[in-house]
DNA sequence: GATTTTTTGTGATGTATATCAATCTTGAAA
DNA sequence: TTTCAAGATTGATATACATCACAAAAAATC
């Protein structure tokens, strides 16, 4: 149990130093959650009470279009943050699904608690600021890749960037993440 | 001159309150820059010393592919932040171009100064944290729109979301932002 | 106000990728 | 270990969109 909090502490301290007092305060605002493969973390229409830091496991965040087709917004594994950020921030019903591709374990942080620790502990505000900034940069890169690259190039790019992910995730889901049909992806040679 | 700083102050205070003392400190870390239409704010290969808050004007951030085709990552106008965030954050040479579609005026913030005011004034850290979070949410929405919607739907969506932008920007650039050819966009009926 | 330059529109044609369908393979569950 | 569901592959066909080419309209520049 201590281990898990140790992991989270390390995650914070990669970005900002925290005193023991600060850390104890911060830590007390998280709770743990466990889910098995195929269980939902977030569902469309349901309240989104938390954002989640993944201790262990793998999830996919996705939306379903009118034709029932799944479009993957994000894969998230150990050391990643995931939520329906839009719904969470605005405290509105979920707009996407998030479910587990493997048995998973999370630290949960409510909006109220996040704001509390950010305004109470400046280093935490800076932590989330810097994290969020990196996230923003990554999404800009992904948008550029969607605008400028062919599906095959995006596939090659992903294989280089996240080789471990490819091992853990069925190719049909990779296809959905890349914005290409599974049949087309299957015809690429990589 | 005072007016401009007043605008920036309002921009901060929409998110977090600041004492006069804090504001004076923060304000002193910005400098003003003016550019005419067609001038570059950021160029590929050049240092990216600042991120910019737009006082007045309109810019496009874009990359050029091997075939010389332009892909627009972002339009930014009054009250928007813009930079080559990747290059800025990592203090590396520019990876994209940003140039002015209209005569424009900016507040410039260096990385050093940003970190300084964030660690000096917690409210500022929270300001950037919250702003960055909203930015992240917007980019996620854009990614979903690229994955789930047809080009025509994305166009309709943009017309509803940013009607003012459509007035100020040639349609060929809108096409490039939406990831569609100008000819195809021209055949849509909206 | 005349003249370039930029932007927009429209037809003809090409291409990457989607979709449909059938089979084969792999992995999970009982 | 067997059984059944999920994933992957491959062919045939359809389609959204790109590209090329040219003309018209609008806007910027002298």
CATH number of the domain bearing residue A102: 2.60.120.10
Q: How many residues appear in chain A?
A: 190
A122 touches chain B (CB under 8 A): yes
User: Domain of A101?
Assistant: 1-121
Those residues whose C-beta lies under 8 Å from the C-beta of residue A40, and which sit 6 or more positions away, are A97, A98, A99, A100
Taking the C-alpha atoms of residue B177 and residue B101, their distance in angstroms, rounded to an integer, is 14
Q: For the segment B138-167, what is each residue's pLDDT rounded down to a tens digit?
A: 999 999 999 999 999 999 999 999 999 999
The answer to whether the CB atoms of A143 and B141 lie below 8 A apart is: no
Characterise B147 by phi-psi region: left (phi > 0), alpha (psi -120 to 50), beta (else). Answer: alpha
Q: Does residue B102 lie within any of the structural domains? A: yes
What is chain B's mean pLDDT, rounded? 95
Query: Chain A: residue nearest B177 by CA?
Result: A147
* Residues 141-180/B with CB < 7 A to strand C: 170-173
Q: Does residue B49 lie within any of the structural domains? A: yes
Q: Does residue A160 lie within any of the structural domains? A: no
Q: Does residue A55 lie within any of the structural domains? A: yes
Q: Does residue A178 lie within any of the structural domains? A: no
What pLDDT, on a 0 to 100 scale, did the predictor assign at position A1? 60
Taking the C-alpha atoms of residue A52 and residue A35, their distance in angstroms, rounded to an integer, is 12
Q: Does residue A57 lie within any of the structural domains? A: yes
Q: For the segment B49-83, what is each residue's pLDDT rounded down to a tens digit?
A: 999 999 999 999 999 998 889 999 999 999 999 99
Domain count within chain A: 1
Those residues whose C-beta lies under 8 Å from the C-beta of residue B179, and which sit 6 or more positions away, are A146, A147, B71, B146, B151, B154
Q: For the segment B97-131, what is each residue's pLDDT rounded down to a tens digit?
A: 999 999 999 999 999 999 999 999 999 999 999 99
What pLDDT, on a 0 to 100 scale, did the predictor assign at position B190? 62
Cβ distance A37 to A102 under 8 Å? yes
Q: Does residue B178 lie within any of the structural domains? A: no
Taking the C-alpha atoms of residue B180 and residue B152, their distance in angstroms, rounded to an integer, is 9
pLDDT, one tens digit for every residue, chain A (190 residues) = 668 999 999 999 999 999 999 999 999 999 999 999 999 999 999 999 999 999 999 999 999 988 889 999 999 999 999 999 999 999 999 999 999 999 999 999 999 999 999 999 999 999 999 999 999 999 999 999 999 998 899 999 999 999 989 989 999 999 999 999 999 999 987 6
Q: Name the β-bridge partners of B51.
A: B109
At residue B186, does pLDDT exceed 70?
yes
A128 touches chain B (CB under 8 A): yes
Q: Does residue B3 lie within any of the structural domains? A: yes
The string of DSSP codes covering A36-65 is: -TT-EEE-TTS---EEEEEEE-EEEEEEE-
Taking the C-alpha atoms of residue A89 and residue A82, their distance in angstroms, rounded to an integer, is 13
Minimum CA–C1' distance nucleotide for B169: C7
Q: Determine if strand D comes within 7 Å of the CB of B151.
A: yes
Locus of tokens 């820059």:
B33
Taking the C-alpha atoms of residue B63 and residue B135, their distance in angstroms, rounded to an integer, is 20
């Amino acid at each position: 149990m201590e281990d898990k909090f140790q992991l989270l502490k390390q995650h914070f301290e990669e970005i900002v130093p925290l005193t023991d007092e600060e850390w104890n305060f911060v830590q007390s605002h998280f709770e743990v959650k466990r889910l098995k493969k195929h269980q939902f973390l977030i569902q469309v229409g349901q309240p989104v009470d938390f954002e989640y830091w993944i201790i262990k496991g793998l999830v996919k965040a996705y939306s379903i279009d009118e034709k029932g087709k799944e479009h993957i917004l994000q894969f998230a594994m150990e050391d990643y943050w995931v939520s329906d950020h839009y719904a969470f921030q605005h405290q509105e019903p979920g707009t996407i699904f998030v479910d587990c591709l493997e048995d998973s374990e999370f630290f949960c942080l409510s909006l109220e608690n996040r704001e509390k620790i950010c305004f109470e502990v400046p280093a935490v505000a800076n932590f989330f600021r810097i994290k969020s900034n990196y996230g923003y940069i990554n999404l800009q890169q992904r948008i550029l890749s969607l605008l400028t690259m062919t599906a095959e190039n995006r596939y090659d790019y992903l294989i280089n960037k996240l080789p471990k992910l490819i091992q853990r995730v069925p190719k049909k889901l990779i296809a959905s993440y890349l914005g290409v049909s599974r049949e087309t992806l299957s015809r690429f040679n990589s």
